[in-house]
């Protein structure tokens, strides 16, 4: 399922390649054996499924992994999110969720500190795909809310 087959507007070639690279070779894919928190979320409008596993210690996201299936946008976004959030403090991770949401509302600048995930900014032009891109970030947001203590 590619964006370009369904829509006349093209993402830049560079960003499209970054997205497809994460889709084909996802980072941090797999389960964490003993996560501090884990959550399953799905996006029924597209059939995307994400399970997120976080290991949080001393207020820092030590490890983040995901499993799931679905369209290239949802899976690439999860790969980019886990890459971006590893090693960040919980406060920084919350700020990243906020930045990603702002980027999905069209604010490309907000997404600049998000690493490869900024490549998804073009998705903001495709309302039906925004939920695909947001899924893993919403899983991150809910996971952070569920952290003990």
**Interacting residues with Zn ion (CB under 5 A):** 46, 48, 71, 74, 132
Closer of 36 and 126 to Zn ion (Cβ): 126
Compute the least distance from the CB of residue 89 to Zn ion, in Å: 30
Compute the least distance from the CB of residue 117 to Zn ion, in Å: 16
Compute the least distance from the CB of residue 132 to Zn ion, in Å: 3
Give the C-alpha separation, 115 to 119, whole Å.
8
With beta carbons less than 8 A apart as the criterion, state whether 41 and 139 touch.
Answer: yes
With beta carbons less than 8 A apart as the criterion, state whether 140 and 94 touch.
Answer: no
Q: Facing residues of 64 across strands?
A: 54
Closer of 62 and 69 to Zn ion (Cβ): 69
Closer of 110 and 123 to Zn ion (Cβ): 123
Closer of 78 and 93 to Zn ion (Cβ): 78
Compute the least distance from the CB of residue 22 to Zn ion, in Å: 14
């Amino acid at each position: 399922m590619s964006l370009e087959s369904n829509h006349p507007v093209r993402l830049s070639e560079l960003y499209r390649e970054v997205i497809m690279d994460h889709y084909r070779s996802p980072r941090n894919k797999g389960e964490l054996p003993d996560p501090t928190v884990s959550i399953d979320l799905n996006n029924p409008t597209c059939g995307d499924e994400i399970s997120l596993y976080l290991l949080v210690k001393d207020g820092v996201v030590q490890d983040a992994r995901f499993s799931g299936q679905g369209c290239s946008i949802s899976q690439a976004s999860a790969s980019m999110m886990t890459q971006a959030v590893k090693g960040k403090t919980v406060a920084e991770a919350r700020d990243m969720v906020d930045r990603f949401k702002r980027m999905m509302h069209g604010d490309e600048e907000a997404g600049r500190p998000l690493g490869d995930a900024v490549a998804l900014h073009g998705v903001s032009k495709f309302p039906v795909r925004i939920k695909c891109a947001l899924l893993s970030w919403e899983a991150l947001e809910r996971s952070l809310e569920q952290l003990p203590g």
